[in-house]
């Protein structure tokens, strides 16, 4: 709903935490492309202008922990920081009859034990491991199908690499999402249904925690914006 109501508005710049994460992604992507830590740090430094609110010292520390993990060394990747697109068929009751287009940039597709693993680095400290998996399940479901459609490969598993775990004793950053192809399809069927409701003109928003991360910030703003759109 936020995406619909804020169409045409100037995008809200991500804050320090998100931009620090972007710097980590820049370094990790170059690391997996080249296998060279020095080149990875150069990529991080080069992207500081793109992400001026990011904390480079913190990003370097996170990347250093990440690259020191043997599980992140010598990784075979089929894709790194790859733009992908997903096209979903509309719901039967969607009045527009138009397909749904979703675009994004997936982090990595790794090959491990002859399986293609969708892997995504998450650097946020706000959520614990279980909450982080729940927060990003729909996103990962989108990347799963988008990778298959765009890259023409089969995804077998999806996992998150939660970097705050590197700062804990015996912390395990590798978080399995436990997604399967069937559960991915179930999750995205809910997205298709929500899009249909919006296209019918139903305002499917309510106040809650997500308001903290939406440019509109509160229900009253949603209500007034929706009156002009739905």
pLDDT value, residue 1: 84
16: tokens are 């320090």
Of 117, 93, 105, 84, give the one whose Cα is nearest residue 189. Answer: 93
pLDDT value, residue 12: 47
40 exposed, middle or buried (CB, 10 Å; 0-12, 13-18, 19+)? buried
The predicted-structure confidence for 80-108, as pLDDT tens digits, reads as follows: 999 999 999 999 999 999 999 999 999 99
d(CA 90, CA 23): 36
pLDDT value, residue 99: 98
pLDDT value, residue 11: 52
Pairing of strands 76-88, 115-122: unpaired
- Give me the sheet containing 76-88, strands edge to edge: 76-88, 100-112, 115-122, 157-162, 174-176
pLDDT value, residue 210: 80
Sign of the four-CA dihedral 87, 98, 216, 209: negative
Which stretches of the chain score pLDDT less than 70? 8-14
Backbone region of residue 74 per phi and psi (left: phi > 0; alpha: psi in -120 to 50; beta: other values)? left
């Amino acid at each position: 709903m936020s995406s619909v109501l804020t169409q045409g508005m100037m995008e809200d710049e991500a804050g320090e935490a998100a931009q620090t994460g972007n710097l980590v992604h820049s370094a990790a992507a170059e690391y997996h492309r080249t296998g060279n830590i020095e080149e990875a740090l150069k990529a991080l430094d080069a992207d500081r202008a793109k992400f001026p609110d990011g904390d480079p010292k913190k990003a370097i520390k996170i990347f250093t922990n990440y690259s020191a993990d043997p599980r992140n060394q010598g990784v075979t990747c089929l894709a790194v920081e790859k733009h992908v697109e997903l096209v979903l068929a509309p719901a039967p009751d969607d009045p527009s009859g138009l397909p749904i287009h979703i675009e994004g940039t997936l982090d990595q597709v790794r090959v491990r034990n002859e399986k293609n693993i969708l892997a995504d680095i998450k650097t946020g400290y706000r959520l614990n491991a279980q909450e982080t998996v729940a927060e990003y399940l729909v996103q990962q479901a989108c990347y799963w199908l988008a990778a298959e459609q765009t890259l023409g490969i089969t995804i077998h598993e999806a996992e998150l690499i939660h970097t705050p775990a590197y700062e804990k004793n015996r912390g395990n950053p590798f978080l399995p999402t436990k997604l399967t192809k069937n559960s991915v399809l179930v999750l995205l069927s809910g997205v298709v249904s929500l899009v249909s409701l919006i296209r019918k003109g139903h305002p499917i928003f309510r106040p809650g925690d997500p308001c903290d991360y939406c440019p509109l910030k509160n229900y009253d703003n949603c209500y007034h914006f929706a009156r002009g759109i739905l």
